[in-house]
């Protein structure tokens, strides 16, 4: 049985572990060690990390259904915020480094290209999640409304994996694996809801 305290104690370590890759990539980018096409590489790594973290937050909820892991849910907020952190870095790499703030081009790109549209909407939906992540916000909004807002994580995850799927030219294995995991996690939630004993009618 892992207690809330166990999980809380692991937070500083997790924090450094999840932050670390971004520091390494930033360092490699600045020192010119990110390969032959560093901007593309940076964007890919940041985006992939963000997608993985989003999936992990979904997994945490599922894992917390297992009795001994019930308290793992205390890690979810931090990982969710890190997902947002990586999405922001990913998006700003696209805007600043890839397109040099050419806003006319970027707006066209977002409207015209489905994979950029998916990614952009996914990013937009993450903003209310990140900005209502504090305890104070939960209190102010009330748990019910807060929870409703946070259902946005489902479209976020689906759009983010589609963003990746459409981007890949031929070998879709990796995006399909991510999509599969997301679908399984969602199915589990639906199943749970359907089989839940009806409480007060």
Partner 1 sequence: MKILGSEITPYRTYLNRRKFIKGSLASAMLATVTSSAFANHDSDLSIYTKNLNENDKLNSYEEITTYNNFYEFGTHKKHPHLNSGNFKPRPWTIKIDGLVKKPQTFDLEKILSNVTIEDRVYRLRCVEAWSMVIPWQGFQLSELIKMAEPLSSAKYVQFVTVFRPEEMPGQQKRTIIWPYREGLRMDEAMNPLTILATGLYGHEMPNQNGAPIRLVVPWKYGFKSIKSIVEIRFLDTQPETSWETLAPWEYGFYANVNPNVNHPRWSQGTERRIGEFKRRETLMFNGYEKEVAHLYRDLDLTKFY
Binding site for partner 1 (CB under 8 A): 35-37, 39-40, 97-100, 105, 108-109, 112-115, 166-167, 169-171
Q: Is 80 exposed, middle or buried (0-12, 13-18, 19+ CB in 10 A)?
A: buried
Tell me how far, at minimum, the Cβ of 11 lies from partner 1, in Å: 34
- The whole-angstrom separation of Cα 175 and Cα 154 is 16
- The whole-angstrom separation of Cα 95 and Cα 105 is 10
Taking the least distance from each CB to partner 1, the nearer of 70 and 113 is: 113
- The whole-angstrom separation of Cα 65 and Cα 159 is 25
Tell me how far, at minimum, the Cβ of 18 lies from partner 1, in Å: 24
Taking the least distance from each CB to partner 1, the nearer of 77 and 113 is: 113
Taking the least distance from each CB to partner 1, the nearer of 113 and 188 is: 113
- The whole-angstrom separation of Cα 185 and Cα 161 is 14
Tell me how far, at minimum, the Cβ of 37 lies from partner 1, in Å: 6
Question: Is the distance from CB of 162 to CB of 60 less than 8 angstroms?
Answer: no
- The whole-angstrom separation of Cα 62 and Cα 15 is 21
Tell me how far, at minimum, the Cβ of 98 lies from partner 1, in Å: 8
Taking the least distance from each CB to partner 1, the nearer of 31 and 171 is: 171
């Amino acid at each position: 049985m892992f207690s809330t305290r166990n999980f809380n104690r692991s937070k500083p370590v997790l924090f450094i572990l999840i932050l670390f890759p971004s520091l390494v990539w930033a360092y490699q980018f600045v020192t010119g060690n990110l390969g032959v096409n560093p901007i593309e590489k940076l964007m890919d790594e940041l985006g992939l990390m963000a997608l993985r973290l989003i999936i992990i937050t979904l997994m945490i909820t599922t894992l917390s259904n297992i009795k001994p892991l019930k308290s793992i849910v205390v890690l979810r907020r931090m990982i969710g915020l890190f997902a947002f952190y990586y999405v922001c870095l990913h998006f700003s790499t696209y805007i600043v480094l890839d397109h040099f703030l050419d806003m006319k081009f970027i707006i066209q790109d977002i409207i015209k290209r489905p994979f950029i549209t998916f990614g952009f909407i996914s990013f937009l939906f993450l903003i209310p999640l990140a900005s209502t992540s504090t305890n104070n916000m939960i209190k102010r909004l009330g748990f019910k409304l807060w929870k409703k807002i946070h259902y946005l994580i489902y479209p976020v995850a689906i759009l983010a994996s589609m963003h990746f799927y459409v981007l890949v030219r031929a070998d879709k294995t990796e995006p399909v694996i991510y999509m599969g995991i997301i679908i399984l996690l969602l199915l589990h939630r639906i199943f749970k809801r359907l089989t839940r004993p009806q409480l007060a009618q």
